[in-house]
């Protein structure tokens, strides 16, 4: 009988140990599932945060590209105004040359006294050319003034675009302040 009781005690001990082992395995499994769920939540939050950060960076990059396109457009407009300005300066130089020739001819006719009547007629023509050249010169100066005003307007717009660009760059660099880099 002792053998039966000792076998029964051993069976009860083994049964108790198996029950406790089963409880420990269940607890370990539940703990692993909880850890897995928390890890999954942390990973999801991290991925969502990274996705939102990337979307914000792309939006800022698009804003930066739009600002750069506007600046490029303004610079193209300014280049368009510089070319007529250069042409106007060239025309002024030509008109000045014509004016010099007219004055040279006028000097030559004043020196010739015997042909005063012819000289006076030619002087009138030369004075008319001088007046015409002065009128053309005034028109060219007016065109330069208009083109300079347009350039001033474009430069004002360009200045504001650079201000927007600086703001966008500051906004773009704001997420980097989160990191501990100097």
pTM: 0.46
Residue indicated by tokens 């002087």 = 123
- Answer whether 73's CB lies under 8 Å from 158's CB: no
- CA distance linking residue 87 with residue 136, whole number of Å: 13
CB neighbour list of residue 3: distance below 8 Å, 6 or more residues apart: none
The pLDDT tens digits of the residues spanning 3-28 come to 777 888 888 888 888 888 888 999 99
Domain residue spans of the chain: 1-59, 66-182
Whole-number pLDDT of residue 112: 54
Residue 121 has pLDDT above 80, yes or no: no
Q: CB 166: neighbour CB atoms within 10 A?
A: 11
- The single-letter DSSP state of residue 178 is G
Q: With contact defined as beta carbons under 8 Å apart, do 60 and 168 qualify?
A: yes
- Counting Cα atoms < 13 Å in the Cβ hemisphere of 63 gives 16
Of 128, 133, 45, the residue nearest 97 (C-alpha): 133
Candidates 59, 45, 55, 53; CA nearest to 178 is 53
pLDDT tens digits for 65-113?
A: 998 898 888 888 887 877 887 787 888 878 888 777 777 776 665 565 5
Percentage of the chain surpassing pLDDT 90? 19
> Pick from 81, 93, 87, 96: which is nearest to 146 by CA?
81
């Amino acid at each position: 009988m002792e053998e039966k009781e000792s076998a029964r005690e051993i069976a009860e001990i083994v049964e108790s140990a198996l029950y406790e082992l089963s409880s420990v395995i269940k607890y370990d499994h539940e703990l692993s599932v909880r850890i897995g769920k928390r890890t999954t939540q942390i990973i999801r939050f991290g991925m969502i945060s990274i996705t939102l950060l990337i979307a914000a960076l792309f939006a800022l990059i698009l804003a930066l590209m739009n600002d750069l396109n506007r600046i490029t457009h303004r610079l193209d407009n300014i280049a368009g105004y510089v070319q007529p300005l250069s042409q106007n300066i060239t025309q002024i130089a030509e008109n000045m040359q014509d004016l010099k020739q007219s004055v040279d001819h006028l000097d030559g006719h004043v020196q010739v006294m015997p042909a005063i009547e012819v000289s006076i007629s030619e002087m009138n023509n030369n004075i008319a050319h001088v007046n015409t050249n002065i009128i053309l010169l005034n028109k060219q100066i007016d065109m330069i003034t208009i083109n300079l005003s347009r350039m001033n307007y474009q430069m004002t717009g360009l200045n504001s675009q650079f201000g927007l660009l600086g703001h966008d760059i500051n906004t773009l660099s704001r997420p980097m302040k989160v990191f501990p880099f100097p």
